[in-house]
Structure 1
Amino acid sequence: MTGGAATFRETTAGSAEASIAVLLVLSFGYYAQRIGWVNEAGEKQISHLCVTVFLPALLFTQIAPQATPSNLLDYGIIIVLSIFAMFISYLVAFITRRTLETPRWAQAAFVFNNATSLPLLLLSSLEKTGTIRLIIGEHGGSVSDAIARGRTYLLIASLVGNIGRFALGPEMMSNKNNIGNHRSIHSPGGLPDTLYAPSQDSETSPLLSTRRIHTTNSNVWPAIKSAAGKSWSWIAGVLNPPLIAALVAVFFGLIPPLRHGFFDKGTPLNATITQSINYLGQLYTALQIFVLGSKLRSKRGEKLPVASTIVLFVHRFIIMPAIMIGVVYFLRSRWPSYIERDPMLDFALTMVGLGPPAITLAAISEMAKLEPHEDSQVARMFLDHRFFLDPHPMSASVSDYISSLPEYRAGSQRLQSIYSDLAKQRLSNPAGYSANVEWWRRTLSEVTSRGLQAGGILVLRADSLLVDEFRWEKVGRPLGVGYALTSLSTPSTSCPASASFISVKRFLDLPGSIYLSESGIAYRVASVVVGRPLWWALQHAGLVGSDDVISETWGEFVILANVEAAAKAVIDAQRTKGGIGPASALYNFASFRQTFGTLVGNYSGAALSETDVRVLVKHLERDRGSVVVDRQADVIKFIEEGASDRETITTVDKGILEMSVTVAKLQEQVDEIQKRIEERAEKINELLRKKQKELALSMLRSRKELEALLKLRLGALETVQTTLMKIETAAGDIAIMKAYETSTDTLKQLLADPRLQRERIDQTMENMAEALADHREVEEAIALGGAPTDLAEDEDLARELQQLVEQNEREAKVAQQEEAERRREEKAIADLERLGLHPQGPVEADDTKHAERPTPIEA
């Protein structure tokens, strides 16, 4: 059984024992009422005693140590979100009360949850299973510190819950109509009616006042008295013994001298008064459960309202966790630096509104004076919630896992096909046979990787226990698992890795890599071609039964896919580990399992077994070439990536590993000695308080001896650590010098090449210069060949082109002038015609003038 599975079993057993203990106390109360030891009057007396004495004592000892000014200031966000959670729950309770007409106690059950015992028990369970590491992460500090912080956060939240529960709970549960009638007669706190303002409505009062100013003043004072009286009545009605105890506890917590005097260990007040109050508080839980058990019989007959109970369950276990997670995410994303960055704080904030109603609701029902049938419903509600959600992790098993698979939920013929004898399907239904074998491969691999069976997380142990764990009520035992294992463990090629499962013995005995072909093909061919048909024939002949089909394949099998994934995780972790010397690459089998045991597990609680370690190390050594192993000396050495030659384990490696193991053992001894010294100191203080000086003197001598031993061990630890550091430094220097030598030899080999001789270099450079000169001459010849042949002719052509351009420009200008002149003449003639005159020869003169205009000379 793996360590993770054992932890799950231990946690489950502990939680089951706690649940059975609660049931037994309820049974004692039920039986005591049945045989007449407790009657209804006795129930009322015990309940009254719990509410007025035992519960206030419990609240005082729980709240005062946590109600320090630093806690209330530093963790104010817990108080704010606790109030927020109660407000949201109150809104849901109000809506449910209006729509479903729930009983009076349901409103308080919605608002007030189990803020102490359930979250603390859940925190303890997470610590036992190691799941708390997933919450705090790699940089969240030690698990013990995280658990201590988490308890503080949850106790602060319970402080708010307890104060709110006893301040508002009785008012929510009580019959407000009756209370109203009661208050109309006299005050809730038992105050006389003279404290209330007299009525101003009277038949004898005059309609008009003769003294207006006096009447105005006289109306103010009675109004003030009336408001003060109502306020005092409300306060007196709200106050009750548990609330008073909670307020006194807060007062004691806020005053340092009182807090230290009453709650610091070793003080006289703590050993006397506080301890006596604590004894009284410890009586509350057992007596209250005892009374609840008695009420289950004396006030039976009332069932819980189904609709209200369902809504209450959904609200407590689905709606409130979703709301609180969303609020915490919003605060972290919007104001990341406003709240202290602590994963445990986030976890505690999400737990604020989670959980069933608290047992203290029974006390509230006593203060609210519920009707007998309602009181019985409160008792039943506590019993149902107590066992609806157990605060421990579910016991992991094969049956728990397979029940979540679709084949088991559907209950169809698919499951019957999987569980039937696959040998009959191989020929009749090849497609179904292949699908069923693949299903068994996936399922067995997953069951193994989750650590749900005894072999480990890399090795599957196939035996009768595994078959019994797969037994299902509707289909019986899995006959197909035997033939599936045979098929999965038979390689399809000459390469062993072609088989998904490999027997452990064969895996460890293979001399070569599983990824290379091996000899012995004839045997495997005979087993496939002859063995399987022969076994099928014997089965149909009735010579072998279904049990033989299963037991034929019993044994341990290496699941290759799991091994490959684990090897990759180990190599990656070792590569990123780093180190200043060779000690970081050296392990023995025990330290290897301790370092990588939980790292390769994909699920919480899954860890490497001893067989897993042997298989994984063999795979890393033979198939991956990542480690070298000396099994006689118990040494595992990781090889650096890219190493050229085959490394071996040297005497230096063995010495370094031995010193590393010695350092670890000395550190464990130092921690244990320090723990014993602290225990001796506490014991001495306790004996001195009891005036047992002789025993205290003996304990003091023992502490002195431990202190001397601690000094010796610390000296030895420092010496070994210093020596190990020097050895690692020297080993690093050797590696550096080796690199220097290698680089020097390489450089010398390169310089010894004949092509790097001086004469050869000069000759090569001269040849290169001549070649470059020849290349230059060729380029110049090509450039001359492409140049124009007559430069003077080009210049004449350019000059003539320019003259033509200028002539065209002049002609265009003259044409523009002539067009303008013609338009002016046409305009003048048009003007004369409008005046009735005709031009006498100007046109001819113009023509003559135009004819006499000189013609431009062409260039």
Structure 2
Amino acid sequence: MDTRPSCPTLLALPPWSSASPSRLQSVYSDILRQKESNPDSYQANIRWWHKALESLARSGIQQEKSTFVISVGPVLMTLLRVQGVGKPLALPTVINELRAQQVLHPKLAFLTQRKSIYDPSPLTGRIAAYALSTFWWSLEQLGVAGEDGLNSTAQDHMDASWWGDYVVVPMVASAADALIAKHPHDHCLTSVLYSVDELKDQIYSVLGAADGLLDDDADILLKFLQRNRSAIVMDGEVVKFTNLDAGIGKITVVDRGVLELKTSVRHLRAQVFQLQRTMDEYTSKACDSLQQNQKQAALSYLRVRKHIEQLLHKRLESLETLQAGLIDVEDALGNRQLMKAYQASTATLQSVLSYPSSHDKSVAKILGALQEATKNAKELEGLIRVGWSSAPEGRVEMHEFEAEINAELETLAALEEDIDTVAERLENLSLKPPTEKPQMPELEGATSRLLYGSASKVKGLGTTRPVALEG
């Protein structure tokens, strides 16, 4: 299948470069019915088109004035056409869906809208977008719409409300964050005040030509910084970076005066640079004339160079004066800020000292009460120590019982050894049946010796027990 695009460079752009023919057929077909029947596939196709439109805008193959803007219409349908796949029938649904997700925003509304573009769109707008998508699907079912979008018989009746120039909002937001991150945060007036042209030059230098910034990019970016990031305030040709922590400020007469000084210094520096280049050129021309033995021409070049040198000295003196004035203004503004800080700290200190507890009488009364309480605490502590030292007889000392406890432990240990000895002797004793009738007195004596021969009294028990046997 031949999937060559109408634009040769389109196939080299992501995500076209990595898409298979079957994938292109899937994303190029009408995906409106997938929104209900297969939501996962529908959202995957929307994400594919999101990346595709950003890549298309960044490539610059469509727009000549801005890389933040894509122009949607018949030209884009033709540009995106792929042989064997056709034109992107999904594009109307994609545009409406990305508008609802705040990925795309109409350019005219972006530049004129006062409220944030992230505010929810009115209900009527969402209903109109849904009705447009439904209308497009109905035309296809009736055979009015085809591979090329619409048949020629219906082009005069086509609803083209989704056509137009759209700002790719994520690209603008990324550029705005990069500019804010690289901007100095010292809040010095010379660092936060710009003319519109000067700030545009800074935008180009910070983001660089590699980002493809064109004519309309700076206007779109400034509008986004002012309205959606609250990073700048604008009044005519005056632009001021604000302190994001302190909220949006305003441009004052002092700001305009400082900007005028700053602009004059900038212009004088440019003149000085140009005069120095011109002097170098005339010097080079004079040297070349001398080498060619053209003394009159060389003398003429040197005279012009002398006049330029005198003008350069005047411009340098003016530049020095303006720079000194700008430094004095910054110094005065810094002193004003310090005076405000001193005034605030003085008011705070006076407010603290105005509390009733800070008065002389109150302080003396509190310190006296503290001394009295400390004295009473020490007296109470002394009484407690005296009472403790005078009552040793009534206390029970543990060391008095230590000797008695140790004696009991020794007795129990000895008793345990005697019991072990008796048990051992009983195990070694062998019993034999008598061969003759024993005499009763002897038997009684032996039994008595066996049972009670080595008995001992256990202290505290009050009974006599056999603890050993005689062999």
Same fold (TM over 0.5): yes
The residue type paired with residue 480 of structure 1 is: A
User: 1:371-428 CA deviation, whole Å, 9 max, x = no partner?
Assistant: xxxxxxxxxxxxxxxxxxxxxxxxxxx8547525365445321012222333454455
What residue number does 2:115 align with?
512
Higher helix share: 1
Matched position secondary structure for 1:636: strand
Pair 460,691 (structure 1): closer, same or farther in 2 beyond 3 Å = same
> Does residue 499 in structure 1 map to residue 102 in structure 2?
yes
Paired with 1:558 and 1:675, the residues of 2 have a C-alpha distance of: 42
What residue number does 1:302 align with?
none
> Does residue 614 in structure 1 map to residue 216 in structure 2?
no
Q: Is the 8 A contact 1:501 1:559 kept in 2?
A: yes
Matched position secondary structure for 2:347: helix
What residue number does 1:692 align with?
294
The normalised TM-score by structure 2 is: 0.71
Using the TM superposition, give the Cα deviation of residue 595 of structure 1 relative to its aligned residue in structure 2, in angstroms.
1.1
What residue number does 1:489 align with?
99
Where do 5+ consecutive residues of structure 2 fail to align?
Answer: 1-6, 414-471
Paired with 1:573 and 1:414, the residues of 2 have a C-alpha distance of: 40
What residue number does 1:329 align with?
none
Using the TM superposition, give the Cα deviation of residue 760 of structure 1 relative to its aligned residue in structure 2, in angstroms.
4.3
Q: Is the 8 A contact 2:70 2:165 kept in 1?
A: yes
Using the TM superposition, give the Cα deviation of residue 635 of structure 1 relative to its aligned residue in structure 2, in angstroms.
0.8
What residue number does 1:567 align with?
176
What residue number does 1:431 align with?
40
What residue number does 1:470 align with?
80
> Does residue 445 in structure 1 map to residue 47 in structure 2?
no
> Does residue 624 in structure 1 map to residue 229 in structure 2?
yes
User: 1:191-234 CA deviation, whole Å, 9 max, x = no partner?
Assistant: xxxxxxxxxxxxxxxxxxxxxxxxxxxxxxxxxxxxxxxxxxxx
User: 1:727-766 CA deviation, whole Å, 9 max, x = no partner?
Assistant: 2222222122222222222222333334434444455556
The residue type paired with residue 421 of structure 1 is: D
Paired with 1:783 and 1:714, the residues of 2 have a C-alpha distance of: 89
> Does residue 530 in structure 1 map to residue 140 in structure 2?
no
What residue number does 2:201 align with?
594
> Does residue 672 in structure 1 map to residue 282 in structure 2?
no
The residue type paired with residue 324 of structure 2 is: T
User: 1:315-362 CA deviation, whole Å, 9 max, x = no partner?
Assistant: xxxxxxxxxxxxxxxxxxxxxxxxxxxxxxxxxxxxxxxxxxxxxxxx
What residue number does 1:647 align with?
249
Using the TM superposition, give the Cα deviation of residue 467 of structure 1 relative to its aligned residue in structure 2, in angstroms.
4.3
The residue type paired with residue 586 of structure 1 is: L
Matched position secondary structure for 1:605: helix
Pair 406,766 (structure 1): closer, same or farther in 2 beyond 3 Å = same
The residue type paired with residue 232 of structure 2 is: V
User: 1:683-704 CA deviation, whole Å, 9 max, x = no partner?
Assistant: 2222222233333333233222
Pair 696,486 (structure 1): closer, same or farther in 2 beyond 3 Å = same
Paired with 2:334 and 2:403, the residues of 1 have a C-alpha distance of: 86
Pair 641,488 (structure 1): closer, same or farther in 2 beyond 3 Å = closer
Q: CA RMSD in A?
A: 4.0
Pair 806,420 (structure 1): closer, same or farther in 2 beyond 3 Å = closer
Pair 753,474 (structure 1): closer, same or farther in 2 beyond 3 Å = farther
Matched position secondary structure for 1:489: helix
- What does residue range 94-493 of structure 1 map to in structure 2 within 5 Å? 400=9, 402-403=11-12, 405=14, 407-423=16-32, 425-427=34-36, 429-449=38-58, 453-454=62-63, 455-464=65-74, 466-490=76-100
Pair 680,785 (structure 1): closer, same or farther in 2 beyond 3 Å = same
Q: Is the 8 A contact 1:598 1:607 kept in 2?
A: no
Paired with 1:776 and 1:450, the residues of 2 have a C-alpha distance of: 87
What residue number does 2:462 align with?
none
Paired with 1:411 and 1:550, the residues of 2 have a C-alpha distance of: 32
Matched position secondary structure for 2:275: helix
Paired with 1:422 and 1:748, the residues of 2 have a C-alpha distance of: 71
Using the TM superposition, give the Cα deviation of residue 456 of structure 1 relative to its aligned residue in structure 2, in angstroms.
2.8
The residue type paired with residue 710 of structure 1 is: L
Where do 5+ consecutive residues of structure 1 fail to align?
Answer: 1-397, 491-497, 813-859
Q: Is the 8 A contact 1:450 1:606 kept in 2?
A: no
The residue type paired with residue 488 of structure 1 is: L
What residue number does 2:316 align with?
714
Using the TM superposition, give the Cα deviation of residue 623 of structure 1 relative to its aligned residue in structure 2, in angstroms.
2.6
